[in-house]
Structure 1
Amino acid sequence: MNFLLSIGSERNWYKYFEFNEQTDNRTDIRNILLVVFTLIAAVTFQAGVNPPGGVWQDGNGNQYHIPGTAIYASQTKYYYVFLIANTLAFSYAIFVILSLTHKFPFHFELWIATMSMATTYVSAIFAVTPREAVKFRFILITAFVPFIVRFGIHCFRVCYKKIVE
């Protein structure tokens, strides 16, 4: 009840939960981010392995679908958007997890396990997606977007620092 009273009309709930560098512990924030991004990685991994609508179970004499492929892939445009967005979310979650655990004990082992999970994700996507539904090069490019964006930001900062100095 005290919590509800502390969020009166003068302060909104968003402002109440906002990060405050003076009062919030960096270790706690990192732990919270690790939990959130691990949840995102788990959900997106599961969605990639078992796409919405499931997979075709048998041929049933139907020439239009192959057993083991995504039912959702029959709606090519929507499935393509799903795969791009899901892969982007999965890649960013993996990137943030690896960034937040940099120089932790067993970081190399975490890197190997994470890359193995990413490989499993990619192989599952390839297995359940009919070849004609998606151009896989775009999915692979999407998987590298977080790394490309961070590298671009790093290069921009280095160049900007040299120009300013």
Structure 2
Amino acid sequence: MKKIAVILGTSRPESYTSKALDVVLDEFARHDKIHVDLIDPTHLSLLFPGQDGDNKDQEKIQEIVTKADGIVFSTPEYHGSMSSVAKLIIENLSYPSVLADKPVVMMGVAAGSIGAIKTLEQLRGTLSHIGAIVLPFPVSVPRVHKVFNKDGTCNDETIESLLRGLADRLLEYIDG
């Protein structure tokens, strides 16, 4: 059974990032023998580097990523950058990072016309620096507020196809 860790890089309730990620998760559900662990920061209490306190959630996400065969990393673009929540998750994955040598696909969403291009480039640089194997063709969802209906369904066939392709690309890489 293949294990996939899916990282939601926002804690905003009913976020567009989570709506886009739902399409990716649905694609994984179409495949046999796939186990997906969602790392959802709304259910975690993560510390900033150097802070003292309970590290149970840090240990939990490190274990999920360590056991994963592949990673999906998603983040909204806030002010031209990845969310602080996404960066905090990366920091809590330690250094050396448990993301090292893991294949990662990336997805970002933004309200603007170019989507999350800036964020995905920053995320690619960060993930590559810590040793992750960042796969090509990240998905950037532009004008995300127009792509998803209120019920969370995607109304853009091209975007839906790209999001589903993200899951398929990761599985193809893992299968070698």
TM-score under structure 1 length normalisation: 0.28
Structure with max Cα Rg: 1
**Structure number with higher helix proportion:** 1
**Structure number with higher strand proportion:** 2
